[in-house]
Amino acid sequence: MARSLTIIGLGYVGLPLAREACRSGLDVRGLDVSNAVVDGLNRGVSHVDDLDDGDVAEMLRLGFTATTDTSCLEAVDAVVICVPTPLSDDGTPDLSAVESAAKIIAEHLRPGTLVVLESTTYPGTTGEFVRPILEEGTGLVAGEDFHLAYSPERIDPGNERYGLRNTPKVVGGLTARCTDAAAEFYSELVDEVVPTVGLREAELAKLLENTYRHVNIALMNEMAVFCHELGIDLWASIEAAKTKPFGFHAFYPGPGVGGHCIPIDPNYLSWVVRSLGYRFRFVELAGGLRADACLCRQANPRCA
Ligand SMILES: NC(=O)c1ccc[n+]([C@@H]2O[C@H](COP(=O)([O-])OP(=O)(O)OC[C@H]3O[C@@H](n4cnc5c(N)ncnc54)[C@H](O)[C@@H]3O)[C@@H](O)[C@H]2O)c1
């Protein structure tokens, strides 16, 4: 059972995880490249909306320390990677932060450690990108000498009803033993763990969730345009449709697909689909149906 944990990347994903781990009695260290983030946290100041300074004070009381010093990866039972996965200038996945985190872990990796990637990414990243970095140089073999898993973060910043603990946590390992080790670790932090059959299924689950939202928001934006032309109040239609107790989930038109993840994550999936020699047409089409397409906001203030 993991008793000590290092979280790499102390942002919207890493910090709530650190709080829950502190509350569960783990010895938690946080590693970040930003001096401002580290100094702020050690002074008890939160830079993340979902945690206030009181939460950080509680974490510090429970033994949490933030640092830029990679020696915090020595002799830990579990490491979770929560670093950013943005797009490069050419729209392709930028895994440079994941790469650098994996290289630093490899410098300190010891047998028996559980390594989990939580950053959102394309299927294959944990097994084909992170795994070789961890194995190279250490001589350790993933699935035999250490556990390797992927667990998507489903945090919804600002959501007061669902947080880390009461949102089911999807977990997929390189091997069944890796899945078990990761599930055991997360079961201390969340109410429900949902194991998948493998790494790539867990990686895809996250992209499936966000692509579903991306495509459905784009669908509403397109409907908003022709409903405006037809003189139909789409909002009233959505309110009516959502009274159906099954088979319909309400999405709303708006000034584009916003937030931290939805405009970016589906591109990770379309990038991997392109490697097969064809295109993920739904995602590419949805990507084109954003603010400029949503003409209805001229007529309907709710769509501003
Ligand atoms: N924010 C969300 O709502 C959300 C939800 C689900 C998944 N995610 C995914 O989780 C991942 C992290 O997102 P976030 O919102 O927490 O990002 P964030 O920008 O809030 O925080 C990332 C932190 O990682 C640090 N960092 C960057 N490179 C680093 C490195 N090499 N080593 C150590 N620390 C490093 C940054 O300084 C920053 O403090 C991304 O893959 C994102 O797509 C985000």
**Token code pair at residue 300:** 């309907």
pLDDT for 103 equals 97
Interval 218-246: pLDDT, tens: 999 999 999 999 999 999 999 999 999 99
Above 60 in pLDDT, residue 2?
yes
**Atom of ligand 1 at shortest range from CA of 34:** 37
Ligand 1 pocket test, pick from 83, 100, 107, 133 with the greatest ligand atom count within 8 Å of Cβ, gives 83
Whether 261 sits among the annotated catalytic residues: the reply is yes
Interval 245-294: pLDDT, tens: 999 999 999 877 767 788 889 889 999 999 999 999 998 888 875 444 44
Ligand 1 shell residues, CB under 6 Å: 8-14, 31-34, 37, 82-85, 97, 100-101, 119-120, 153, 155, 157, 260-261
**Token code pair at residue 174:** 């390189």
Q: What pTM value is reported for the model?
A: 0.93
In this structure, which residue's CA is closest to atom 15 in ligand 1? 12
Interval 45-86: pLDDT, tens: 999 988 999 999 999 999 999 999 999 999 999 999 999 999
Beta bridge mates, 6? 29, 79
Residues above pLDDT 90, as percent of the chain: 84
Cα–ligand 1 centroid distance for 125 (angstroms):
16
Amino acid identity at 181: A
Amino acid identity at 190: V
pLDDT for 254 equals 83
For the segment 5-29, the average pLDDT, to the nearest whole number, is: 97
- Rounded to whole angstroms, the Cα distance separating 129 from 117 reads 11
pLDDT for 289 equals 52
- Rounded to whole angstroms, the Cα distance separating 174 from 148 reads 6
Active-site choice (72, 261, 296, 303): 261
SS3 track for the chain: CCCEEEEECCCCCHHHHHHHHHHCCCEEEEECCCHHHHHHHHCCCCCCCCCCHHHHHHHHHCCCEEECCHHHHCCCCEEEECCCCCECCCCCECCHHHHHHHHHHHHHCCCCCEEEECCCCCCCHHHHHHHHHHHCCCCCCECCCEEEEECCCCCCCCCCCCCCCCCCEEEEECCHHHHHHHHHHHCCCCCCEEECCCHHHHHHHHHHHHHHHHHHHHHHHHHHHHHHHHCCCHHHHHHHHCCCCCCCCCCCCCCCCCCCCCCCHHHHHHHHHHCCCCCCHHHHHHHCCCHHHCHHHHCCHHHC
What dihedral angle (degrees, nearest 10) is formed by the CA atoms of 157, 161, 164, 167? -120
